C-alpha cells in the first residue's frame, strides 16, 4: 500500500520524532497495516497546547468534585463548570456543540452519557453519577470524565463503578506505540464481560486535541491485532461505557441527546485523554 493512500502524498516527517519512528511507520505500510494520516500526529506545539487544556480540565474536575452530592441539582454543577472554565480564559466545549444546550454532560444511573443538566434533576442518595467535561483553551481540547457515588450506594452499583474504572485503566495500559486499536478494545471487553457486564457498542472514544471529535474512533470492544496502528503523536480518549445489563442503548426522543440503557439497568463510565509517546503513553487528563 502506498504512502499516498495514508499520508496524502506527504512525506512522513512528524515534528520532533525520531528517524526510528518514521522507519517503523514505513514498515507498517509495507505490511499493509492501517496507519493514521499525518494530520492525526501532533506537533510539539500542539502537544503543549493540549497539555495546557488538560491541566485546566483536570483542575475543573477537581473543583466540581465536592459539589457532586445529594441535594444538588445538575444545573448547579453545570453553572459551576461554566464559571470556572470562563474564569480561566477557556471555553466549555459542549456548550452549543451541535445544539447541545449546556456546558457539561451529567449522566445518572441508567443514563449512559450526554445527560443534559437541569434545574429539575436533583442528585439523590444512592445515585451513581458521571460528569463529562471538555475544555477548549487557546484552540486546543481536553476531554475526561469521572464517576461519583452518592451516599449509600448499593454493593452492585459500587462494583459496576469499580469495574468500569478498571476497564478504562486496562485500556490505557494497552495503548502503547505500535499496538493496534483492537488491542485496547479486546482487553476492555474481556474484563467487562468476565465480571458479568456488557460494553456499549454504539458509542466510542475518539481522537481529540485539535478538534472536539476527530479520527480515530476508539471502540471498547473488538479483536486484538486489528485496527489502526498506534503511532507516537496521536491523542485520543479511552472512555468505556459499561452496562450492568445488556449493551443496547437508545437516545431520548424528547431532547435528542440523552443516551440511556435499553433495559433500564445502570451504566458507568470513566474517561482518560492520552498521548501516544515513543515509549508508552502520557495521560493528558483524567
The reported pLDDT for the residue numbered 21 is 87
d(CA 229, CA 38): 13
Residue ranges in the chain modelled with pLDDT below 50:
1-14
State the fold for domain 43-285: Creatine Amidinohydrolase (3.90.230)
The reported pLDDT for the residue numbered 6 is 40
The reported pLDDT for the residue numbered 16 is 57
The reported pLDDT for the residue numbered 78 is 98
Residue 145: all three cell numbers together = 470524565
Residue 158: all three cell numbers together = 459500587
Beta bridge partners of 143: 134
pLDDT 10s digits, 62-105: 999 999 999 999 999 999 999 999 999 999 999 999 999 999 99
Closest of 179, 177, 283 to residue 239, by C-alpha: 283
Angle between helices 155-174 and 181-194 (to 10 degrees): 160
Q: How far is CA 167 from CA 161, 191, 201, in A?
A: 10, 6, 15
pLDDT 10s digits, 213-235: 999 999 999 999 999 999 999 99
Closest of 88, 90, 97, 94 to residue 107, by C-alpha: 94
Amino acid at each position: 500500500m502506498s504512502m499516498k493512500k495514508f499520508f496524502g502524498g506527504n512525506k512522513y516527517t512528524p515534528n520532533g520524532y525520531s528517524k526510528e519512528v518514521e522507519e517503523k511507520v514505513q514498515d507498517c505500510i509495507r505490511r499493509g497495516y492501517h496507519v493514521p494520516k499525518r494530520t492525526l500526529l501532533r506537533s510539539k506545539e500542539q502537544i503543549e497546547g493540549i497539555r495546557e487544556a488538560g491541566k485546566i480540565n483536570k483542575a475543573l474536575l477537581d473543583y466540581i468534585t465536592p459539589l457532586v452530592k445529594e441535594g444538588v441539582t445538575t444545573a448547579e454543577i453545570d453553572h459551576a463548570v461554566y464559571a470556572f472554565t470562563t474564569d480561566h480564559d477557556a471555553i466549555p466545549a459542549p456548550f452549543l456543540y451541535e445544539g447541545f444546550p449546556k456546558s457539561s454532560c451529567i449522566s445518572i444511573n441508567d443514563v449512559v452519557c450526554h445527560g443534559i443538566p437541569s434545574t429539575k434533576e436533583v442528585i439523590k442518595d444512592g445515585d451513581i453519577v458521571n460528569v463529562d467535561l471538555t475544555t477548549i483553551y487557546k484552540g486546543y481540547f481536553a476531554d475526561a470524565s469521572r464517576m461519583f457515588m452518592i451516599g449509600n450506594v448499593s454493593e452492585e452499583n459500587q462494583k459496576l463503578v469499580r469495574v468500569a474504572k478498571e476497564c478504562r485503566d486496562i485500556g490505557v495500559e494497552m495503548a502503547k506505540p505500535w499496538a493496534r486499536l483492537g488491542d485496547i478494545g479486546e482487553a476492555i471487553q474481556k474484563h467487562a464481560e468476565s465480571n458479568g457486564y456488557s460494553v456499549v457498542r454504539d458509542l466510542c472514544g475518539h481522537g481529540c486535541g485539535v478538534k472536539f471529535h476527530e479520527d480515530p474512533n476508539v471502540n471498547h470492544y473488538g479483536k486484538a491485532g486489528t485496527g489502526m496502528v498506534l503511532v507516537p503523536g496521536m491523542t485520543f480518549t479511552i472512555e468505556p461505557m459499561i452496562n450492568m445489563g445488556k449493551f443496547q442503548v437508545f437516545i431520548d426522543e424528547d431532547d435528542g441527546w440523552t443516551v440511556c440503557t435499553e433495559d433500564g439497568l445502570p451504566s458507568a463510565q470513566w474517561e482518560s485523554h492520552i498521548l501516544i509517546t515513543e515509549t508508552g503513553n502520557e495521560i493528558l487528563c483524567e
